[in-house]
Amino acid sequence: MNLFSKFDSALPLEQFLAKYGSSTDKTRWRSALDATQLTDGQKALLGGFKREQYVLVLAGAWCGDCVSQCPIFERIAEGAPVVQVRYLDRDEHADAQRELQINGGDRVPVAVQFSEDGHEVSRYGERTLAKYRSLVSQLSGESCATGIVKGTDPLQMQVVQDWLNEFERVQWILRLSPRLRRKHGD
């Protein structure tokens, strides 16, 4: 399946929430977005991104993991205007959901990153390493996040960094791509 073809039908966050979110969902997402901040160093790193990155996120407006992680993508895109993020509803796009299963299951959020010309560069999702480490340490802890985000929570700060690391990794793949270097003369 060519997932990049889904990018044009995917929605910016506000439109995604307007279409799929309940009033409660929208309140949780706005609260999480307000609580999600990047450090000055993270913003400086993002300001140096040069290559266009298209990010297709399979999500659910109802999903606590999406509420706590997708605002990170929005902050990354604010800091790096070359990053374009769009959202697909997991339930409405069953074909994408099947393509992006993790360990045989339907999981969200899953972010697929593409080059400017539609080549898939990365798939990353459901939860980051920091979140899994935390869950493993609890072993009997939550099975689904609540969507309550506290910007000063050390775990949330590490999840932000985990996602930023993945976006940065993709940027360097794109910057060092011989094909794109020839195209851009750098």
Identify the structural domains of the chain with CATH numbers, from first to last: 3-179 (3.40.30.10)
pLDDT tens by residue, the chain, 186 residues: 999 999 999 999 999 999 999 999 999 999 999 999 999 999 999 999 999 999 999 999 999 999 999 999 999 999 999 999 999 999 999 999 999 999 999 999 999 999 999 999 999 999 999 999 888 888 755 555 666 666 678 899 999 999 999 999 999 999 999 999 999 999
Backbone angles phi, psi at 88, to 5 degrees: -115, 135
Q: How far apart are CA 106 and CA 110, in angstroms?
A: 10
Residue 113's identity, in one-letter code, is Q
**Beta partners for 87?**
11, 57
Q: How far apart are CA 157 and CA 20, in angstroms?
A: 27
Tokens of 158: 């590490």
pLDDT at 41 (0 to 100)? 98
Q: How many helices (H) and strands (E) does the chain have?
A: 8, 4
pTM of structure = 0.92
Catalogue the E-assigned strands of the chain: 53-59, 83-89, 110-114, 120-125
Alpha helices by DSSP H, the chain? 13-20, 23-35, 40-47, 64-79, 94-99, 129-138, 154-176, 178-184
pLDDT at 152 (0 to 100)? 72
